[in-house]
Structure 1
Amino acid sequence: MDSTSFYSKIASSRLFIYIGFHSFYHLHFTPLEAMCMGVPVLFLYQSGLMKEALDHGVSLDLLNETGMCSSIHELQLRTSSLFHNLEALEDLSRRQYALFRNVFSRTYALQQLKRFCRQIQDGLPERSDLHVQAPLVKEEIKPLYRKPSIKTNLPAHTGQFTAFSLETIGAFTGPPVYGENESFVCRKAEAGRDAPGLLIAEYIQTMPAGVYAFSIILTASRTVRPAGR
């Protein structure tokens, strides 16, 4: 679907249902775009939309009154009750726009950026004395390998495979760490320095029908106990 058709579909909708990634640290543009078009949005508690509003000082009670749902089941119930009530939909749209235009305002975004810069300022060197060397020559990829881009070039025939490394794979946080001789060591995300986000963030497009094998190796510098155990 092209962009014109996509946004026309949103603009002509009565209601926008935002599920998201069930993550507090990821937010798509589409629910915000829907609000700007006057389309009311129902969204889950476990979403970036809720987290940003909560960080801005909006109460959970107000969010509940302004489209937030605790579960998929509640989403279904509220959708059924609102869908044919045009006055309630218009009222929800007005209240959401008034609320979230402040949460996602340019002024607030700049304030957050300044606060983040102040938090990491002590850990930044005033100047760098490192000598920039010429880039290393990469080895030529063997014919059996595919181009290391999961977005555009996945295996399509028997015997082909794609290898990804943490050095080159897409990520929202955790810069790469290099050791001596510019050798890659790891990706490292530190609290107070790096923003929360996905350490591995690659979008897998449609793949040909078939059987695929995936493997991943993760290492940690310390033992981490799962939440709730």
Structure 2
Amino acid sequence: MGCEGCGTRSKILFGIGGLLALIGVILFAVMMVTGNSAVTVDFMSADQQNFNLEITQHPGCKVALLALRTANCDAVYTATSVTDPDSQSVSISKDCSPFFEEDWVKNNNPPLRKMGRISQGKTGTYRVQSTFKLWAVDECGQVAEAVGGILAAMGLFVVMIIIFIVSCIFCCIGCCCMESRSKVVVTTGANQVAVVPAASGPATVVPAS
């Protein structure tokens, strides 16, 4: 038989344990998706030469400007200008060093390199102009999004562990509730034998051979 000794209670408990384990697997898949989305980069602008940056929050943070990895960083820096919401020129902090570069910059499609940063002194529309194609990333916003995604994944991980533990508890209880199929043979006299299951139940009387 598929479940030797399984009673109604043990089957119910095993069913609950299996269902909880399935929920745990689903949560694990959701956690993986959530964790991966935490490292996904949302560009404020991508593959553009002239574009506007709408700064609505994180004043005082910096926007990273990136160019194609095959481009000459110094040439891109010289050919790029930025103006703030008051049409005033904004200085670009040059960042052409290949050191301490995040993996996503090199692994992006197409591969990129950092060229410089601009400070968000105020909210509003910033204008970026260049003869090279540029990508822009809000660094503060990117960090906040990554932290939020990681915390969400950690929360799902804790819930998943709790569900798996509860699932194991239900399965253990189900094992304890399984009925034994062993039988006890008792001689009753008058050439008759009573066959009594180890679990509670009526005895079956059969003639002695």
What TM-score does the superposition give when structure 1 sets the normalisation length? 0.20
What TM-score does the superposition give when structure 2 sets the normalisation length? 0.21
- Which structure has the larger Rg over C-alpha atoms? 2
